[in-house]
Structures are given as structure tokens and as C-alpha cells.
Structure 1
Amino acid sequence: MKLLHIEEAPLKYLKTLRLHYEDKSGNARVWEMVSRSGKARLEKDLAGGNHTDGPMIVAWNEEKTHVVMIREYRVVAGKEIVTFPAGLCDEGESIKEASIREFKEETGLDFHYLAQEGPRYTSVGLSDEKVHTVYGTFTGELSQKYLEDSELIVPFLVDREEAVRLIKEEEMTVRSAFCLQMFFRIGPLFELIP
């Protein structure tokens, strides 16, 4: 397979791109995708660069019995979706700085950074978006007073029992479901592989 060229078709917040490429049989093909940053960043990544759009934050209490999650209204889904707090990096902001800021905004809690991994793609068939998964602990009291007017977010604490219920009964992002299953060691993976 060989990429031939990229065509940009911008929107307000996203750029739509058409990637013209050659498949393994030499046939000309077109792949459509969206990007937050556009053609220049995609070309850098294809040349070996690496970028991040922001953090997804997995935070637990000192006793490691609860994690913080949010219910956020998502326009595309038309309803609230359960997820870990997350957000975009501001210009010049590090992943650690963005994690602390976004966690405070979305939960009212203080985030104490421990580690990060990534960046990793969120939906590689559709977008070049990549995020870091950031880990740490939290202190403070849940609050919605730091939310932006455009955000409808309810932060809440999740223990093991609630994690099992959430995974079975509520809509959540796939990456949040996996992180929740890993933290509490629940779900089919842990049932199938002792």
C-alpha cells in the first residue's frame, strides 16, 4: 500500500480529509477521515511524528476502592455517556498540566499525577485523534462549579459493584469500559483467563 496524496476539506472544528492511496494490488483508492488538526499534522505523523490531542484521566482514591467517572451529555449519541474525565490540551500545555486542569474542571477534584501512557488512537478507522491515558489519585469534593457553559457533566465515584453494573447496563466509551474492567479486574477477560 502506498499513500498518493491527501486532500483537505475543512469544517469549523474538524478537517475532513481524503487520503488518496494505492492498495496492495496497485489500485487507486480513497479513504475519508476527520482530523482536529488537519493535513500538516497527519503528514508529520505519517513521516514518523507523534502527537496527542489530550488526556483521558483514570484517578482513584488512596484506598484504591473507587475511581472517578463522569456522565456527560454527548450530542452525537443524543444522551449521557459514562466515561473517564478527558479533554484537549491547550496550546503549549503538557499532558500533565492538561490532566490537572481538565480533571478539576470536570469533577471539582484535585488530581495527583502518577504516570501516563500513549498516545494511542481513539478511532483509527475514522480519525487521527490520539490521547494519553493518565493515571493518578484524587482528593477533594465532587463539584460541578468549574464546568463550562457548554458542558453537561455529572461526576461520580465508582466502586467495584457499581463498575459491574455500569458495564452491564449503561452506555460507555470502549476505552473507559476497558480501563474500568482492568482497574477492578472484572469482565469476560478475567473470567476466561484466570
Structure 2
Amino acid sequence: MGNIKDVTKLTDNPYLNLYHLKGTNRVGKPLNYYIASRVKSMERMKLKTKKNTPDGIIIYSLYGEKRDKVVLVKQYRYSIDGYIYEFPAGLVEEGEDYKEAGIRELKEETGLDLDLIQAEPMYEKPGFMSVGMTDESCATIYGYANGTPSKKGQEDSEEIEIVLADRKEVKRILKEERVAIMCAYMLMHFVKDEDPFAFLDL
């Protein structure tokens, strides 16, 4: 097993920072490794706390009288200089409950309200995003969205199109568009399962 001996913070940004890890690998050779983290101090990094506190929240919600549409966002991302389909998502603010964060983020990004489903904790617990390069983890919440879509709550830095997609459109998106991986897996349930939330054991 590798051994981390020293951690150095290399940047000082508000939402994401780069850290340098020094140590040894599993056979004792020197190791230099770099990771990004959402936390603002080394003491709060998961490699220090050993706790998986969610940095963000992902919202999987259904829409419409028949609950036959899924709420997506088509968002411009600088990392790929292009648009990608995702679930509405966002960061959990310090001291904020992740479910409250999800309800807030859905409202801000889409203008929609969320009737939250109380799912088993195993379906909500934080999962790691891209663990080879970051310690970021996100919890997932589920529910039924209602209201009228609106961009009024979006920030100036966000370029987001609200998408209410039925199964036919989701199939097209999966075939033809860029899709975030954590969203793509859930959309496969949406396409194939009569009840997309059946796996939640409601």
C-alpha cells in the first residue's frame, strides 16, 4: 500500500484547488502525485479526515403528469470546450444538508421544485467522481419535479439549457451526445425500466 508523507497546497481558488502529494508507492519507491480537491484546507481533505462527506449533490428527478420525462441540463463545460448533458447538480455549502442543497440547486438551475423521495441511504451515499484525479464525491437524491422551467436563478457563469426529455429523446442523447457518466447510467434505467425508480426499493 502506498504511503503519503507530505501534502502541499499549490493553489488558492474558491471552488477547486490543486494539491501535491509526496510519499512512497507500494514497493517503497518515491512518489509524486497531484490531485484536485473542493476543500479549502489540507485538514479537510478526505485523505486526512478519512470521511466521505459529499462535496456536491446530483438530482435525478422525473417530470410531467405521467412522470415520463427526466430533468436534464445541457451545460457548457470549459474542460471540454463544449456542451454535455448532465443531471442538475451543484456544490453543498458548508453546514448545509445535502438534500437541502439538492432542492436549492434544482430550483436555481431549472426553476423547478422537487418533491423528494425518501430512498434507502445506500442509494444516496456519496460516490467518487473521478478518483484518479480528485477526492470529490457527490451524493444523489431522487424525486418528482414540478413547476415551470426557468433560467432566472442561474448564475452569470452558467450556460445551461433545461431539458425535459422523454424516453425517445433520452435514447437519442445516449446515442449522439456527450453525457456525464453518472448521468448516463441512470438514463439507462430510465429508458429500459417501466418504473425508473424501481431500483430504489420504494
In the superposition, the TM-score normalised over structure 1's length comes to 0.88
2:181 aligned residue (163, 174, 189) = 174
After the TM superposition, which parts of structure 1 deviate over 4 Å for at least 4 consecutive aligned residues? 44-47
Deviation (angstroms), 1:172: 1.4
Deviation (angstroms), 1:91: 2.2
Runs of 5+ in structure 1 lacking a partner?
A: 187-194
Structure 2 partner of 1:52? 54
Deviation (angstroms), 1:79: 1.5
CA contact (8 A) 1:45 1:51 kept: no
Counterparts of 1:114-153 in structure 2 under 5 Å?
Answer: 114=117, 115=119, 117-153=124-160
SS in 2 for 1:25: coil
One-letter amino acid of the counterpart of residue 83, structure 2: E
1:163 aligned residue (138, 160, 170) = 170
Counterparts of 1:6-155 in structure 2 under 5 Å?
Answer: 6-13=7-14, 14-37=16-39, 38-42=41-45, 44-61=46-63, 63-114=66-117, 115=119, 117-155=124-162
Deviates more, 1:10-19 or 1:170-179: 10-19
Deviations 1:131-156 (A, max 9, x none): 00111111111111221122111111
Alignment: residue pair count: 185
Task: Supply the distance in 2 between the matched residues of 1:49 and 1:70 (Cα, whole angstroms).
Answer: 30
Deviation (angstroms), 1:3: 1.9
Deviates more, 1:11-20 or 1:130-139: 11-20
One-letter amino acid of the counterpart of residue 171, structure 2: V
Task: Supply the distance in 2 between the matched residues of 1:69 and 1:178 (Cα, whole angstroms).
Answer: 13
Task: Supply the distance in 2 between the matched residues of 1:97 and 1:50 (Cα, whole angstroms).
Answer: 18
Deviations 1:1-48 (A, max 9, x none): 222221221232322111122222111111111111142122x54453
One-letter amino acid of the counterpart of residue 12, structure 2: L
Runs of 5+ in structure 2 lacking a partner?
A: 194-202
1:169–1:94 CA distance, 2 compared to 1 (3 A): same
Identity %: 37
Deviation (angstroms), 1:52: 0.9
Task: Supply the distance in 2 between the matched residues of 1:94 and 1:106 (Cα, whole angstroms).
Answer: 18
One-letter amino acid of the counterpart of residue 103, structure 1: L
SS in 2 for 1:11: coil
Deviation (angstroms), 1:184: 2.1
CA contact (8 A) 2:9 2:20 kept: yes
Task: Supply the distance in 2 between the matched residues of 1:129 and 1:163 (Cα, whole angstroms).
Answer: 27
CA contact (8 A) 2:20 2:32 kept: yes
